[in-house]
Amino acid sequence: MSAHGIASIAVALFALAACDANTASSGKSEQSSSARIAAALDTCAQDRTGFARAVCASSTLAGLDRQVQRALVAASANVSDAGAQLLVRNEARWLEAQRIGCGAGEAATVLSPEQARCMEGQLRARAQQARTAVQQMGGYTFQRMELVDAAPVTPAMAQQSGLGADAPAAIVRDIRFPRIDGRQTPEIQRFNDLVAQQPSVTFDEATNEIVDYRIVYAGPELISVRFDMSQDALGAAHPSSSSKGVTVLMGEGRELAERDVFRTDSRWQDFITQRAVSELARQFQEDGFTPPQRDVRETATKPHLWLISERGLTILFPPYSFGAPYVMGGTEVTIPWADLRPYLNPSAPLPIRPSA
């Protein structure tokens, strides 16, 4: 798929989400009733052909599909009309990606044993994921956005990767990020823009891309989200993984900066560097590894590697970011707010500043 194609997919999805601004103020309508959403999600009840028939021919797969349907119908009751439509479209797109990923043809009405096992595993995982498609947290309703696609591995890709006949059936993309549903104030729209993720590689590059997230903290003054990313090129020795934080100051509609957390004249950089070096050395004591202070400082002082929680400041250390070999992977260090108090900006947003 071309870069233009990737952009078109993302734009179409965001355009649908944007219509929430016009529908949410009127609340839910008949268009998003449980019965309508259930019918739209019911793979086996609709007049479909090909792959849907193959899924529904298996009592196991059809039963798992119904589990997904029930979970998403329950989730739809907590979102706006636009949010409910996104649940339906996300699921249709997900199912099509699994067809490709499991190696089934577009017109296939019967699955091979291998394809059936693949689909069973994917549907079981999906049934669990569907339960968290919508989260209520910190006074917000967060809906999981998904850019899920797959493209068949061509003979040329298989040969170039060196895998040949052992190459997987498809290259997959599974990119997820949160979106606040409901009334789209300028502040909420800005948050949704700042946390939105898009593909960074094309299918032509024969690289699987996975992006997942976790909401670490959500409150009136800020929301902090952790993202974990992985890219796995076909035939590569190991995937390339990384992590980042996106923390948004809701009142100002911008990402967290150093000055929002620390007093500029407090030498906070020295403190968190030394604290991180000590903690990392403790974590990797059995490996006899002590991280270089310069590498730790370079990572620890970057706000895009910070997460804000009620407990304290968490500093993310992705692989290679603290002087360790890739085999040691990534890690994190959390410093409690109580220990950071001498360095904190007294005007910092909650939960950084002590509550009254």
175 and 278 assigned to the same domain: no
Whether 284 is in a domain gets the answer yes
d(CA 79, CA 155): 43
CATH number at residue 86: 3.30.565.40
Where are the alpha helices (H) located in 196-267, listed in sequence order?
258-261
Query: C-alpha distances in angstroms, 55 versus 111, 127, 131, 220?
Result: 8, 15, 21, 44
Whether 351 is in a domain gets the answer no
214 and 124 assigned to the same domain: yes
According to the model, what pLDDT value does residue 27 have? Answer: 57
Instruction: Name the domain boundary from 255, 290, 318.
Output: 255
273 and 194 assigned to the same domain: no
Whether 348 is in a domain gets the answer no
Question: Does residue 143 carry a pLDDT above 90?
Answer: yes
Residue 20 token pair: 């929430």
Best-predicted range by mean pLDDT (36-45, 279-288, 295-304) = 295-304
The answer to whether 209 touches 185, Cβ cutoff 8 Å, is: no
214 and 326 assigned to the same domain: no
Whether 216 is in a domain gets the answer yes
Backbone phi, then psi, for 33, in 5-degree steps?
Answer: -65, 155
Q: Average of pLDDT values for 54-64? A: 94
Whether 28 is in a domain gets the answer yes
37 and 169 assigned to the same domain: yes
pTM exceeds 0.95:
no
106 and 120 assigned to the same domain: yes
Domain count, the chain: 2
CATH number at residue 326: 3.90.640.20
**Residue 315: domain span:** 258-343
Question: Does residue 337 carry a pLDDT above 90?
Answer: yes
DSSP secondary structure code for residue 106 in this structure: T
Q: Residue 195 — very low, low, confident or very high, per pLDDT cuts 50/70/90?
A: very high
pLDDT digits (tens, 9 = 90+) for 70-122: 999 999 999 999 999 999 999 999 999 999 999 998 888 889 999 999 999 99
Instruction: Name the domain boundary from 234, 255, 276.
Output: 255
Starting at the edge strand found earlier in the chain, the sheet holding 306-308 runs 306-308, 312-317, 331-336
Instruction: Name the domain boundary from 224, 239, 255.
Output: 255
Non-local CB neighbours of 177 within 8 Å, separated by 6+ positions: 144, 145, 195, 196, 197, 211, 213, 225, 227
d(CA 71, CA 94): 15
Non-local CB neighbours of 89 within 8 Å, separated by 6+ positions: 13, 16
Q: Is the peptide bond before 351 cis (omega within 30 degrees of 0)?
A: yes
19 and 51 assigned to the same domain: yes
Non-local CB neighbours of 113 within 8 Å, separated by 6+ positions: none
The rounded mean pLDDT for the chain is 90
d(CA 266, CA 35): 59
Whether 155 is in a domain gets the answer yes
Backbone phi, then psi, for 342, in 5-degree steps?
Answer: -65, -15
Question: Does residue 342 carry a pLDDT above 60?
Answer: yes
According to the model, what pLDDT value does residue 106 have? Answer: 83
179 and 246 assigned to the same domain: yes
Of 309, 183, 186, which is closest to residue 250 (Cα–Cα)? 186
294 and 244 assigned to the same domain: no
Of 134, 148, 153, 168, which is closest to residue 32 (Cα–Cα)? 134
Question: Does residue 20 carry a pLDDT above 50?
Answer: no
Q: Residue-wise over 9-47: b if at least 16 C-beta within 10 A, else e?
A: bbeebeeebeebeebbeeebeeebbeebbbebbebbeee
Where are the alpha helices (H) located in the chain, listed in sequence order?
3-18, 20-23, 34-41, 51-56, 59-76, 81-101, 113-130, 155-161, 186-195, 258-261, 268-283, 293-300, 337-340
147 and 296 assigned to the same domain: no
56 and 158 assigned to the same domain: yes
Question: Does residue 263 carry a pLDDT above 90?
Answer: yes
Lowest mean pLDDT among 104-108, 229-233, 345-349: 104-108
d(CA 68, CA 124): 9
Whether 354 is in a domain gets the answer no
Residue 268 token pair: 């906070």
- The letter for the amino acid at 236 is A
223 and 80 assigned to the same domain: yes
Whether 326 is in a domain gets the answer yes
According to the model, what pLDDT value does residue 221 have? Answer: 97
Q: Residue-wise over 106-116: b if at least 16 C-beta within 10 A, else e?
A: eebeebeeebb
